[in-house]
Amino acid sequence: MLSCDTIQLNVGGTLYTTTKKTLSRESNTFFTNQLFSNFLRMSDGSFFIDRNGQIFSYILDYLRCGKLIVPRNFHAFESLYEEAKFYGLGELKKQIEILERRSTIPRQPTKSESSDSPCSSARKPGFLTLGYRGTFAFGRDGQTDVKFRKLYRILVCGKASLCREVFGDTLNESRDPSDREGCERYTSRLYLKHQCLEKACDTLAEKGFKLLGTCCNGANGLMTSFLPNIQSSSSTPELMNQRNGGDFEEQRWAHYTELIFYREPLHCNFQKPNVECCHASLQNLNWK
């Protein structure tokens, strides 16, 4: 049987057992300002709190030892900050801010960017767009058994400083030098040094970006413009050979796709974009 100093909490469906002394470690918080008699009492005797049960484990660990402890690959800083704000833990909010900034290693500023530039501050919200032109590799004769995906180049569009922060050394800036117009400019002339789409998406996810939407022209986009030239300049046997060739098949299946990502602010009064409007705008695009 639990002692009078021991208390059971049901936070979002997850049960925790702790003491009143632990919960009241800091003054003027949710636990010290609220009377437990006002909480919803469950049938098992626990007090119900309608908050994130998984995140509460970090809240409770902080109250026990006085410092924030999270796993190395922890990325839910925004949710943790909101929970700390709800429970009125001011010192914990400061520790979250410090730890979140350390988890995102900023790039070294260029000569044109001073250390107090707004580009070198903590992470900011923003949009990034990945664009790529792809097809399938058919081989020289177009008769290979397995048709592998073939990407020519992954383009990166957005604010230049944000592109560098996210992709770092994997970003090729040869077409857009970093000393042009300052760090707050936008560019569509950057691309990645690798051609692995999944690696680029993993990098964006690790940096806190979420996919908002995509737009793409369907396969066979170059078929109509490529076929008349063949018909007008080739005999029937030559036409059949070219139609069965790998170059023709790769042109036939060529397509262009853009993936639009957005990263929300960590904690500020910033208006979130209307995702539904973004999706509607993408659906209304007429790719030709």
75 and 204 in contact (C-beta within 8 Å)? no
Residues 56 and 187 placed together within one structural domain of the fold: no
Within-domain flag for 207: yes
Give long-range contacts, CB 8 A cutoff, 24+ apart: 224-229.
226/251, 226/252
Q: Is 161 part of a structural domain of the chain? A: yes
Per-residue pLDDT tens digits for 38-78: 778 888 888 899 999 999 999 999 999 988 988 877 888 89
- C-alpha span between 214 and 282 (Å, rounded): 7
Residues paired with residue 135 on neighbouring β-strands, in sequence order: 150
pLDDT score at 137: 76
The reported pLDDT for the residue numbered 276 is: 55
Per the structure, the count of domains in the chain is 2
Residue at a domain's end among 73, 103, 133 = 103
Question: For position 233, what pLDDT does the model report?
Answer: 53
Last residue of a domain, one of 37, 70, 103: 103
Domain annotation covers residue 117? no
| Residue 116 domain flag | no
Distance CA 150, CA 147 (A): 9
Question: Do residues 251 and 137 make contact, with C-beta atoms less than 8 angstroms apart?
Answer: no
110 domain-assigned: no
Residue 270: per-residue pLDDT: 45
pLDDT of residue 122: 56
Both 128 and 94 in one domain: the answer is no
Instruction: List, in order, residues 6 or more apart from 68 with CB less than 8 Å away.
Output: 58, 61, 62, 92, 95, 96, 99
CATH number of the domain enclosing 29: 3.30.710.10
Claim to verify: residue 62 and residue 130 sit in the same structural domain: no
Q: Tell me: do 265 and 143 sit in the same domain.
A: yes
Q: Select from 103, 130, 145 the last residue of a domain.
A: 103
173 shares its domain with 269 = yes
Does residue 209 sit in the same domain as residue 241? Answer: yes
Residues 131 and 268: beta-carbon distance below 8 Å = no
Tell if the pTM clears 0.75, that is, is over it.
no
Residue 129 lies in a domain: yes
The pLDDT score that the predictor gives to residue 145 is: 64
Q: Within the chain, which residues score under 70 in pLDDT?
A: 1-4, 35-37, 104-123, 138-146, 177-183, 218-246, 267-288
Count Cα atoms within 13 angstroms, Cβ side, for 88.
12
271 and 211 inside one domain: yes
User: Could you list the residue range(s) of the whole structural domain that residue 186 is in?
Assistant: 122-283
Domain shared by 189 and 132, yes or no? yes
Domain shared by 262 and 211, yes or no: yes
Asked whether residue 227 is assigned to any structural domain, the reply reads: yes
Residues 6+ apart with CB under 8 A from 124: 162, 263, 265
**126 and 99 in one domain?**
no
Identify whether 112 is part of a domain.
no
Contacts for 190-193 with beta carbons within 8 Å, 24 or more apart?
Answer: 190/155, 190/156, 190/157, 190/160, 190/163, 191/153, 191/154, 191/155, 191/156, 192/153, 192/154, 192/156, 192/167, 193/169
Which pLDDT score is estimated for 58? 93
- How many degrees, rounded to 5, is the angle at CA 181 between CA 177 and CA 185? 90
Q: Is 36 helix (H, G, I), strand (E, B) or coil?
A: helix
Give the separation between CA 103 and CA 118, rounded to whole angstroms: 19
Torsion of CA 110, 113, 118, 124, to 10 degrees: -20
User: What's the distance, Cα to Cα, between the start and end of the chain in Å?
Assistant: 72
Do 53 and 139 share a domain, yes or no? no
Quick one: 150 and 242 in the same domain? Answer: yes
